[in-house]
Structure 1
């Protein structure tokens, strides 16, 4: 070992904090439209750099990962003031290469810009537009990406690193599996500019056994499960996630093969957004809120309504409870004791095995504590939400005809 290297390692052992970087701080993300670049930080980097989310051996480290706003072609640059001469150090370039597509341009920013301009000469969004909506006079468009095409698969490869950086415990999917769908939300730009990617979601089409008769008649039934859902940080806080989700549900409701819309392991933020979006959708579709009562609710109506709305049991149960708390809040023909019993009944069924092992007093206490926490959370979700009742929905009439009126 040279004297210089020996001094360097000795200095590092005396001042390890100088050579240790938070990978969450070191990784800097940018999206650019060629005129301006917007910076945002990742929430998680442990899938790339380990559970400690630290990088050792580099002084003043910055890892720049930039994307074009339209094609999402990435650019990677790694800068630092000084590096320890230690063969055990993490090779940052090799590490990042595992998670970015092969098209990623390294260090040469001019080459990256040139490659984007060349790609845009013939670039088209690799999929079909399935819906659009306006928010604050800006049009947004939803595309279902063709993952069977090379361009569609490449777009997914460019987007997928965001799953690791923004979804806790997120992981890459096998996009070559025909049962995966990718939907991308774009902000439509003026005629002389390209659209910008706002967010995306992946969804898996699970086959559902339709019963012997339908199976014999080759009837297809699918449970579509939303897996990953991301709105870019620069577009968050504008209600776009809720609109994106709601319009996807509208698209799936119109598909006769899809019988249930499911969400895989939603986090608290997504659950909140989903609850509010679903409640608003029920009002828009003419759902009969008068049918939701705390005592002697019509179980056949629940079955029919849930099936026609294509909601899973857990989510429909949450919506019924939210509606009851909403009615209670606004003094709408329900009593607190009946609502409390309605919700506790579900909580008991869900936790029956554990609760039955307790004595009666403890069991009552546990149920009351769970109810109070849930009630508080439901009121937080409801906030200032208003639930309009525009048309009657009895759970038996043709849902398709009512949906068309609401479109």
Structure 2
């Protein structure tokens, strides 16, 4: 049975008025009027719970369709809502239709129009929206013709640029639909840096245009006594451009940009998703192989299979990795180096991983601190539960590492 947002099991006659918000909302980037007829470039949101509630459902409309179009460069929006029937509260006194426009207006820009002609009229000025910030990298993807990509850094003084602020506020619209528990940054806080990823393209009039296809925000925290500790906050590659290596390129560019700054201690991440953990592991692995081969390549790894202080110090100094991330890279490099058919070598790898996994479960006798999580507390005191937990976590880790190594090898083959 469908569950309405009111928390009531809907009677059968009302179920036609209930729908999944994620299924009825459709996004489309528009570069020409022809794109309006191209259903292949439509994409759906991943999250709508911050707009339509925890169940991500909309009630009160039959055959509902919500189209949100966006001009690729200026990020001007058009909203169109269509439905076959709206519920009649006089007939069903207990129920009334959700206010879709009011809910969406919390995130859609105030400049959003419901007039299609007015929206399309802005196409002729798309080429006026150039890039913001300082260019730090350009690249092309193999197999793509006449298309290039640019990565720009917008420094902390962006809060003084009104045009950028208005444009960036429109870009932030996508956060709530594609990042769980999303929130906008404080644009008056000068500790933010924004890295923008653009696609350079030619419009129908052969004019050069730039479409933002992703971005990452970084907050500069202070680290005692005179260091900075950048924390990666929001990471978004827009759906039409995912699974093509753009996230890897963007994150690598950020690490390479920040590691040039001697005041940067290391780079952290705020509440990382599983997808970001995988991306960061891949980038960290590549950085250590590229800049610290004397420590992380096969020969030195087999010679010194344990994590050394030199590895931790140099990975932080050269690649700006945290100690915990260096430890993960060390485990991946060791797995790369060993013979997977050698039981003794695999045992050493397994012990490395399980030792790291076990550390958070230990009771701190010196400071008499209990573990904060009761579930972990039980693992710390019950050997059988702990053994089962570590075995399960180890299987997850080795599968994760194998996926990262496969991705690493794939990208190495393209060089």
| 1:156-185 per-position Cα deviation (integer Å, ceiling 9, x unaligned) | 211112111111222222233221222211
Distance 1:19 1:355 in 2: 47
Distance 2:263 2:23 in 1: 45
- After TM superposition, give the deviation of residue 310 of structure 1 in Å: 0.6
Q: Which of 168, 173, 176 lines up with 1:156 in the alignment?
A: 168
Distance 1:65 1:102 in 2: 14
SS where residue 178 of structure 1 aligns?
coil
| 1:48-95 per-position Cα deviation (integer Å, ceiling 9, x unaligned) | 111111111112111111111111111112122221243943221122
Q: Which of 226, 229, 233 lines up with 1:227 in the alignment?
A: 233
For residue 276 of structure 1, what is the aligned residue in structure 2? Answer: 282
Name the TM-score, length of structure 2 as normaliser.
0.80
**C-alpha distance 334-275 of structure 1, shift in aligned 2 (>3 A):** farther
> Contact conserved, 1:182 with 1:202, CA < 8 A, in 2?
yes
Name the TM-score, length of structure 1 as normaliser.
0.81
Q: CA RMSD in A?
A: 2.8
For residue 399 of structure 1, what is the aligned residue in structure 2? Answer: none
**C-alpha distance 82-372 of structure 1, shift in aligned 2 (>3 A):** closer
SS where residue 135 of structure 1 aligns?
coil
Distance 1:254 1:193 in 2: 32
Q: Which moved more, 1:225-234 or 1:174-183?
A: 174-183
For residue 18 of structure 2, what is the aligned residue in structure 1? Answer: 20
Q: Which of 30, 43, 47 lines up with 1:40 in the alignment?
A: 43
For structure 2, the 5+ residue unaligned runs are: 1-9, 90-94, 364-376
For structure 1, the 5+ residue unaligned runs are: 1-11, 211-218, 390-407
For residue 83 of structure 1, what is the aligned residue in structure 2? Answer: 86
Distance 1:305 1:387 in 2: 23
> Contact conserved, 1:291 with 1:297, CA < 8 A, in 2?
no
Distance 2:272 2:212 in 1: 23
- After TM superposition, give the deviation of residue 307 of structure 1 in Å: 2.9
**C-alpha distance 349-307 of structure 1, shift in aligned 2 (>3 A):** farther
For residue 113 of structure 1, what is the aligned residue in structure 2? Answer: 120
- After TM superposition, give the deviation of residue 142 of structure 1 in Å: 1.0
Distance 1:332 1:225 in 2: 40
| 1:204-251 per-position Cα deviation (integer Å, ceiling 9, x unaligned) | 1111112xxxxxxxx4x2111111111111111211111111112111
Q: Which of 170, 194, 208 lines up with 2:223 in the alignment?
A: 208
**C-alpha distance 30-357 of structure 1, shift in aligned 2 (>3 A):** closer
